[in-house]
Amino acid sequence: MPADVVHAAAPKIESTFKAREVEGIFDLYFYRPIGFWLAQVFARLRMTPAGVSLLAGIFGVVAGHLYFYRDLSVNVVGMVLQVCANAFDNADGQLARLTHQESREGRIIDSVADHLVFVSVYLHLTLRYLFEGSSQAICLLALAAAVSHALQGAAADYYRNTYLYFVTTRARTDLDSSSELRSDFRKLTWRQAPWHKLLLALYLNFTRQQEILAPRLKTLRDVAAQLFHGKIPDSLRTRYRNLASPMLKWWGLLMTNIRMLMLFALLFISQPVYYFWFELIPLNLLFVYLLFRQEKMAGSLLKIAEFEQNSA
């Protein structure tokens, strides 16, 4: 969309949300306003959402490197860069919705950039302790924390997008399944489209992880797609909202903001190693509890979906 059209339309910030109910407090009142302003600037500069995602990734990777140094002033620069990375990460999606450039490739690049940021954080914190003479056991601790982080983030993203699928119409064209992705992956060749095939391979692996973590929810989505073809009945939509809404704020604790705040606090007291333990113990306990709650909810909603179809 041309920049003058964006300006003339005077879009509201709400038009760049996926849905208000899935936004955290910190996002609503800090990152989304900043991201909205940035999205408007990027629209005038004719930047693509993928380009903004790459910029976010660069800021975040550099931030992770700056956590390697046991110097608070250097660490603070890293914190500022990570806040900038998160603001850009919000802005890329807002730009996509503002300019109607939402695409699967954009979502994949955004996901890859997010993963690279936290790989940099975990890697450089681990190197920080190794260079200070810590036991090599720190590598196992960091790896376990990083795997936990990846699984928690994948599940939180999956449940949030599924909420949008059932309760709103915003995400129904964005929802991918591993079977669809596998079919598209096989159509591409490494010789003709190596970049697209690589991105799709990464996204396929990510989607498989999500579906393995939430088998009942995957079944619910598949059944709903087969029975209702994207037109979710009002009774099922209402029931899903009532059951899932209370858990959204808890899933939000497994997203980026709480991790950043904890990491920053631990860097200020020069004890970032406890960030790994934070991932492994409290966040994993919350993760397991939410998985149990959501899978139980999905099972009950399956019965409602089947009843709706039989009574139609």
Give the range with max mean pLDDT: 102-106, 171-175, 215-219, 307-311.
Answer: 215-219
The token duo for 221 is: 């989505």
Token representation of residue 41: 């600037």
Share of the chain above pLDDT 90, in %: 53
Q: Residue 1's pLDDT band (boundaries 50, 70, 90)? A: very low
More confident position, 135 or 12: 135
pLDDT tens readout for residues 285-294: 999 999 999 9
Asked whether the beta carbons of 64 and 9 are under 8 A apart, the reply is no
Helix, strand, coil: what percent of the chain each, to 5? 80, 0, 20
Percent of all residues in the chain with a pLDDT value above 70, rounded to a whole number: 92
Distance CA 46, CA 98 (A): 12
pLDDT score for 125: 97
* Structural tokens at position 117: 């940021």
Separation in Å, CA 213 to CA 152, 207, 222, 264:
10, 10, 15, 29
The CB-based long-range contact list for 70-78 (8 Å cut-off, 24+ gap) reads 70/128, 70/132, 70/270, 72/267, 72/268, 72/270, 75/267, 75/268, 78/267
d(Cα 148, Cα 144) in Å, to the nearest integer? 6
Cβ-based neighbours of 57, under 8 Å, separated by 6 or more: 85, 112, 113, 114, 116, 117
Residue with tokens 């002033």: 73
